[in-house]
Chains A and B, each alone.
Chain A
């Protein structure tokens, strides 16, 4: 496996880690399987690309964050006010976003940025020539770390704690003067803003936006999240928010590295989906297998004690 491929995997991993963080918020914290993600990822890419073409790459990322939170707001209103089932609400928003994303890109399905200044080229110009090869890695790492830190800080605020409590026990929360509608809405907006920012960054990173960019993003995000969680589980006894968030970032990078390794080992790309499914399966089933193993050891020990 070449260094360029490994570096590229790390760069993409840091960018996708924002999706994993968004899913940590909606899937783990709020306990909602939010399928808006497939659409809001492309929305971020579309918004960022459109503004980048107009010469405002940084504004493009802000627009991506704003557009993503709007998408999250729609899903949240569907869920909380109109009582649409969470999965269905996500599917509805995702479907609507397909048309909206085309509109955002000016009725084009592919928007190239090959000749535009992106945040990555701007950042690269700031660095001395010798370091330019690592500018993309550095910038995506900065984005990942900053976002992770902000999220950790946010989840420790009063509002953040309320959001976490909403996912844990809705009934308790509503009886303790926290409005679960409000916390769910804020959570979903923030989650989709993160996903959308990831899309915006990816569009500027790969220098084009495409209408199909977000397809399967939920699975990629969940896979990253779960790989990170398993890692977290192996290393700590008691998980905390900060650890889980760091784990999600590392998980996203590891997921991309596994895919890159599969590619360089000449696994056919038609088998890549199978590879990622197997990764997710191993990661998800790891706790169950571990528990069974612990139980088996415990039983064996007990047997020994009885024999003794």
Chain B
């Protein structure tokens, strides 16, 4: 017992001395951390920590666009060191990544997707955080209002234009009386789109039925349960459903039901059509905001940006199978 207690004591002491030895990095202002960088003389680079929640085609697209646009804005590899870390969908890892960035005294954190941004916001209150693909930044607690960021966070929102999607649906397949919503309630991104969709349809007086799934394997039976009850299916930006999109579209085609989705990747996998977010443009906008902050603009003076351009995409094969004309929206 004695030996063990000694070991614990030594470990604790080591911690306390080590922690006491370095001034609390969290409280040091960003400007001074730039001066104290321990890089070779003359090559004081700006350090950016980039954290992405998980591997995902849309999120990867955003990241690539950020890299490209930062270079185009003059923050190329000679000036900026980007430490890219991927959370692999694990919340615990996201916390450690955020703490690593704070410990490395980065000058800025770029966070892709909501949990990544929240983990970063919990880890530091003074290093600027530029987020991307956060559907509802106010709801996520990152900003008090879109116009005036009141914390150290600002960035871009990938709010889905649900209204435009339903307008497109009315144009392609008129006379829809009931929509079937198919999504995973465990994905916050989906839930916020669904809430929007409900508000839009309530205003229009159109009915809807909800079917929720937890795993991709349940999508097939969930879709079958909707057949006969609805005139069209609507799926938000839902990763769970996205994985099973080929199955879903097969069932829908057999039942002659149009499937409207909220992501263009889901159209590629067999969904009928969407008015979707252009993730490259989202990444570009994010990088431009990051460049602004890096050039000295205060975070509070950089309002959250929502996408200005959406692109309408439709799947030719699905449309042909359902006998719908989408020639206006396909190349």
Question: Which of chain A's residues have a CB closer than 8 A to the CB of B128?
Answer: none
Compute how far the CA of A263 lies from the CA of B102 in the bound complex, rounded to whole angstroms.
13
The answer on a CB contact under 8 Å between B191 and A114 is no
Question: Which of chain B's residues have a CB closer than 8 A to the CB of A9?
Answer: 96, 99
The answer on a CB contact under 8 Å between B8 and A8 is no
Given contacts A98-B186, A109-B187, A113-B141, contact A8 B91 (CB under 8 A): no
The answer on a CB contact under 8 Å between B85 and A109 is no
Residues from 198 to 244 in B contacting A, C-beta threshold 8 Å:
214
Compute how far the CA of A273 lies from the CA of B91 in the bound complex, rounded to whole angstroms.
13
Closest to A4 in B: B103
Shortest CB-to-CB span from B192 to chain A, Å, is 9
Shortest CB-to-CB span from A243 to chain B, Å, is 6
The answer on a CB contact under 8 Å between A2 and B93 is no
A7, A12, A107, A112: the one within 8 Å of B140 (CB): A112
B1, B22, B140: the one within 8 Å of A110 (CB): B140
The answer on a CB contact under 8 Å between B95 and A206 is yes
Given contacts A8-B95, A212-B91, contact A109 B186 (CB under 8 A): yes
Question: Which of chain A's residues have a CB closer than 8 A to the CB of B122?
Answer: 114, 205-208
Question: Which of chain B's residues have a CB closer than 8 A to the CB of A270?
Answer: 55, 86, 88
The answer on a CB contact under 8 Å between A108 and B188 is yes
Closest to B97 in A: A263
A7-31 interface bits toward B, Cβ cutoff 8 Å, 1 = contact, 0 = none:
1111010000000000000000000
Given contacts A98-B186, A102-B185, A112-B140, contact A6 B18 (CB under 8 A): yes
Question: Which of chain B's residues have a CB closer than 8 A to the CB of A211?
Answer: 186
Interface residue B21 (Cβ < 8 Å from any Cβ of A): yes
The answer on a CB contact under 8 Å between A272 and B7 is no
Compute how far the CA of A256 lies from the CA of B15 in the bound complex, rounded to whole angstroms.
14
The answer on a CB contact under 8 Å between A5 and B19 is no
Given contacts A4-B26, A112-B140, A207-B121, contact A246 B8 (CB under 8 A): yes
The answer on a CB contact under 8 Å between A12 and B118 is no
Compute how far the CA of A210 lies from the CA of B186 in the bound complex, rounded to whole angstroms.
9
B15, B24, B88, B115: the one within 8 Å of A208 (CB): B115
Q: Interface size (A, Cβ < 8 Å)? A: 54
Compute how far the CA of A265 lies from the CA of B99 in the bound complex, rounded to whole angstroms.
14
Question: Which of chain B's residues have a CB closer than 8 A to the CB of A269?
Answer: 85-88, 90, 93, 97
Given contacts A133-B27, A134-B19, A260-B96, contact A2 B4 (CB under 8 A): no
A134-161 interface bits toward B, Cβ cutoff 8 Å, 1 = contact, 0 = none:
1001000000000000000000000000
Closest to A236 in B: B4
Question: Which of chain B's residues have a CB closer than 8 A to the CB of A259?
Answer: 93, 96
The answer on a CB contact under 8 Å between A12 and B96 is yes
Interface residue B3 (Cβ < 8 Å from any Cβ of A): yes
Interface residue B151 (Cβ < 8 Å from any Cβ of A): yes
Question: Which of chain A's residues have a CB closer than 8 A to the CB of B119?
Answer: 206, 208
The answer on a CB contact under 8 Å between B24 and A98 is no
Residues from 227 to 268 in A contacting B, C-beta threshold 8 Å:
232, 235-236, 240, 242-243, 246-247, 250, 256, 259-260, 263-264, 268
Interface residue B114 (Cβ < 8 Å from any Cβ of A): yes
Question: Which of chain A's residues have a CB closer than 8 A to the CB of B214?
Answer: 98
Closest to A9 in B: B96
A115, A215, A250, A268: the one within 8 Å of B8 (CB): A250
Compute how far the CA of A207 lies from the CA of B142 in the bound complex, rounded to whole angstroms.
11
Compute how far the CA of A133 lies from the CA of B88 in the bound complex, rounded to whole angstroms.
29
The answer on a CB contact under 8 Å between B191 and A109 is yes
Compute how far the CA of A5 lies from the CA of B96 in the bound complex, rounded to whole angstroms.
7
Interface centre among B4, B21, B85, B90 (most CB of A within 10 A): B4
Shortest CB-to-CB span from B322 to chain A, Å, is 32
Interface residue B40 (Cβ < 8 Å from any Cβ of A): no
Compute how far the CA of A103 lies from the CA of B95 in the bound complex, rounded to whole angstroms.
25
Residues from 181 to 224 in A contacting B, C-beta threshold 8 Å:
205-208, 210-213, 215-216, 220
Shortest CB-to-CB span from A35 to chain B, Å, is 16
Interface residue B92 (Cβ < 8 Å from any Cβ of A): yes
Shortest CB-to-CB span from B97 to chain A, Å, is 7
Compute how far the CA of A216 lies from the CA of B141 in the bound complex, rounded to whole angstroms.
26
The answer on a CB contact under 8 Å between B7 and A235 is yes
Compute how far the CA of A42 lies from the CA of B114 in the bound complex, rounded to whole angstroms.
18
The answer on a CB contact under 8 Å between B19 and A7 is yes
Interface residue A3 (Cβ < 8 Å from any Cβ of B): yes
Interface residue B74 (Cβ < 8 Å from any Cβ of A): no
Listed in ascending order, the chain A residues whose CB lies under 8 Å from chain B are: 1-10, 12, 98, 102, 107-110, 112-115, 133-134, 137, 205-208, 210-213, 215-216, 220, 232, 235-236, 240, 242-243, 246-247, 250, 256, 259-260, 263-264, 268-270, 272-273
Listed in ascending order, the chain B residues whose CB lies under 8 Å from chain A are: 1, 3-4, 7-8, 11, 15, 18-19, 21-22, 24-27, 55, 85-93, 95-97, 99-100, 102-105, 114-115, 118-119, 121-123, 139-142, 151, 185-188, 191, 214
Q: List 29 A-B contacts (CB under 8 A).
A: A2-B100, A2-B103, A4-B26, A4-B99, A4-B103, A5-B96, A8-B96, A8-B103, A8-B123, A98-B214, A109-B191, A110-B118, A112-B140, A114-B121, A114-B141, A114-B142, A115-B141, A133-B24, A208-B115, A212-B91, A236-B4, A243-B4, A246-B4, A247-B4, A260-B96, A263-B85, A263-B96, A269-B86, A270-B55
Nearest 10 Cβ contacts at the A-B interface: A2-B103, A4-B103, A112-B141, A8-B99, A114-B141, A133-B24, A110-B188, A207-B122, A5-B103, A211-B186
